Structure 1
């Protein structure tokens, strides 16, 4: 199949499954082919397969029009680091690398733009230009002059401007830290981000017009994120709902990358054996999301040892930790430090079951005027958890 045929097939599939419903957004996706924004060399599939349009054009094109993210940059020494200590996603592009920039999966991007309710006359700030595919979609839908995009990596910002010019588009692309928004062009009707956040940056709420929207990936645990659509009344507060599961590169900040969570061979304070699989709740999206909300401040990483695949869990400082691995026909759970994180997991899973095993889209987010973030279940007046 040619690039044009693959592009058409992807759009028709998204229409058929209900991902794309708005006629103007469908026109934008049809008019802005993804392959024109993916680097011909240096990109990777989510599983780490190297893509090269010159040496293997068929594999490259197939990856571009598969409904997956494409990694376009991995962390390097000195590159901007994740702002909020994200959890490395599995599988990673390599044994010691993590995605620093990517092109979002087409259906995820379509859902994000659908939640934004794009219409003529809107002005939008996009945080995280990346490959500029989303920037071009926004510019096609709203007009070049309505779109401001910021990218923390100057090299990516320059590349995005070049690609957009080649496509006849000229939205404003600035090399800037998206955490601070972009004050010169504020206020905006909409701020949308293709970078995941744990907390909605205060600058975004300050730079949205009263009644405007922020639509972005949100999550306390990378790999168990959701799309958040929050309404902003103009007083620094916000309230909105979560929609489905997504994986995005975290919002970054200048500086060296933080070291990943590692099993450092510490001696446990407690051992226990269990017959049921303790890893499954950490790997399943619904339960991992619930645990991320109900148990504060933890990270997880897959751990491969001689007996099989387990996990390493620790708090954000690495002081309290849990090590889980297969042990014969059972599972060994070891934990140490002042917090008993595994006990907190068990209590949270029991509460989740008591509440009816709610799916992530039953939760929502409230941001108070003083910046306090709370996740709620079913209603902002219902059960809440501090972020």
Structure 2
């Protein structure tokens, strides 16, 4: 049996060889902070839904802990009365944790506010790098926080921990040199920017649509704005206050205003991150998902600002496109796709985000003054 220490050492070696971990002090923090101390012995799940139990399957539990993948530690906010199976807390994949902490450009003596304590592993890594007294971490869920407190104590780490909605930050400790969110947002909360010093960095996963996110390290300017270029794709659970309601698509039971056939697969580009991500912010106020539609797996689109909708599904060797409502939603998607192609099909790392002092969000290409798209507040 490969021991926990051996697996831990191998994981960190892999992160270093891959270039995800570069900072020597951060590497030392990872080596001093084993992940297995922060994963529940029972009740956690792999991203594929496999139940993990250290007591009955210790080898499988340990292998999952030191795989480079997320581990789900809570579903449905811990409420058995809502059996949707929606992950609501997790331990992020080690590669993603390393990437976020490297993006924070941590320096000795800095003070950090973490939004979302989760299992406590990320807070422990920050404390190992910067010192316990320099780390404040916030968790909105009392049950999740209780587990994190226990794990932090067992690991010998003691950052400042508060049960609090992280969307409002923690003013008593401000200003911070870094604010790091372990949840995704569609709107960067003003409190995070205001509570980060000028020249400091807000590191957050950002998404225009749940499921298609990027890492956004945003440097705070003296005028109250924050801006930065995206760094790779990733997926995080949304900040609880920014979740979308569980509403059905507007196309359910609706008759189309328009129907047409297309002979080039329109579904695959919207199910692959590289081609879907730019469309998510170039088209305002919408969401999408997959659903079986009689002839195969189809794609539904639904506006969040009214009853507009579209659906696309295979029909023999072609695809049927139907849409209805005041917006021609599928036409908007086609126009955005054409615009992206005309720009040279740039990948996500060529885009960035500026949050203005009045909280307007603008996604831009290559530079803050380059081509851009005002990101509209999603209707929820």
Match of 1:58 in 2: 59
Moved more, 4-13 or 173-182: 4-13
Q: Does 1:40 align with 2:41?
A: yes
Q: Does 1:215 align with 2:200?
A: no
Q: Does 1:67 align with 2:68?
A: yes
Q: Does 1:162 align with 2:163?
A: no
With normalisation by structure 1, the TM-score equals 0.92
User: Quick check: 1:272–1:334 contact (8 Å CA) kept in 2?
Assistant: yes
How far apart are the structure 1 equivalents of 2:40 and 2:305? 37
1:165 Cα deviation after fit: 0.7
Do the aligned partners of residues 301 and 334 (structure 1) sit closer, same or farther apart at CA in structure 2, a change above 3 Å counting? same
Show the 5 A alignment for 1:230-269: 230-253=218-241, 258-262=245-249, 264-269=252-257
Do the aligned partners of residues 367 and 7 (structure 1) sit closer, same or farther apart at CA in structure 2, a change above 3 Å counting? same
CA displacement, residues 73-130 of structure 1 (integer Å, 9 cap, x when unaligned): 1125879x9xxxxxxxxxxxx9x33211111111011000001011111000000100
Task: Look up the SS of the partner of 1:253 in the other structure.
Answer: helix
How far apart are the structure 1 equivalents of 2:247 and 2:39? 28
Match of 2:103 in 1: 115
CA displacement, residues 231-284 of structure 1 (integer Å, 9 cap, x when unaligned): 112432111110000001111139x98315446222221212222211111111
Show the 5 A alignment for 1:92-171: 96-171=84-159
How far apart are the structure 1 equivalents of 2:222 and 2:114? 19
Q: Does 1:372 align with 2:372?
A: no
Of the two structures, which has the highest relative contact order with CA contacts closer than 8 Å and spacing of 6 or more? 1
How far apart are the structure 1 equivalents of 2:210 and 2:245? 15
Show the 5 A alignment for 1:345-364: 345-364=333-352
User: Quick check: 1:206–1:234 contact (8 Å CA) kept in 2?
Assistant: no
Do the aligned partners of residues 5 and 330 (structure 1) sit closer, same or farther apart at CA in structure 2, a change above 3 Å counting? same
How far apart are the structure 1 equivalents of 2:247 and 2:145? 27
How far apart are the structure 2 equivalents of 1:41 and 1:324? 42
How far apart are the structure 1 equivalents of 2:267 and 2:59? 37
Task: Look up the SS of the partner of 1:243 in the other structure.
Answer: coil
Show the 5 A alignment for 1:283-322: 283-317=271-305, 319-322=307-310
Task: Look up the SS of the partner of 2:291 in the other structure.
Answer: strand
Task: Look up the SS of the partner of 1:219 in the other structure.
Answer: strand
User: Quick check: 1:78–1:257 contact (8 Å CA) kept in 2?
Assistant: no
CA displacement, residues 153-184 of structure 1 (integer Å, 9 cap, x when unaligned): 11111221111011111101111111100111
Moved more, 330-339 or 263-272: 263-272
Moved more, 370-379 or 305-314: 305-314
With normalisation by structure 2, the TM-score equals 0.93
Identify the match of residue 331 of structure 2 among 336, 343, 346: 343
Moved more, 52-61 or 206-215: 52-61
How far apart are the structure 1 equivalents of 2:292 and 2:40? 33
Do the aligned partners of residues 128 and 5 (structure 1) sit closer, same or farther apart at CA in structure 2, a change above 3 Å counting? same
Q: Give unpaired runs (5+ residues) of structure 1.
A: 82-93
Do the aligned partners of residues 106 and 77 (structure 1) sit closer, same or farther apart at CA in structure 2, a change above 3 Å counting? closer
Task: Look up the SS of the partner of 2:230 in the other structure.
Answer: strand
1:49 Cα deviation after fit: 2.0
Number of equivalences = 372
User: Quick check: 2:8–2:34 contact (8 Å CA) kept in 1?
Assistant: yes
Q: How much is the aligned-residue C-alpha RMSD, in angstroms?
A: 1.9
Do the aligned partners of residues 115 and 319 (structure 1) sit closer, same or farther apart at CA in structure 2, a change above 3 Å counting? same
User: Quick check: 1:202–1:236 contact (8 Å CA) kept in 2?
Assistant: no
Task: Look up the SS of the partner of 1:338 in the other structure.
Answer: coil
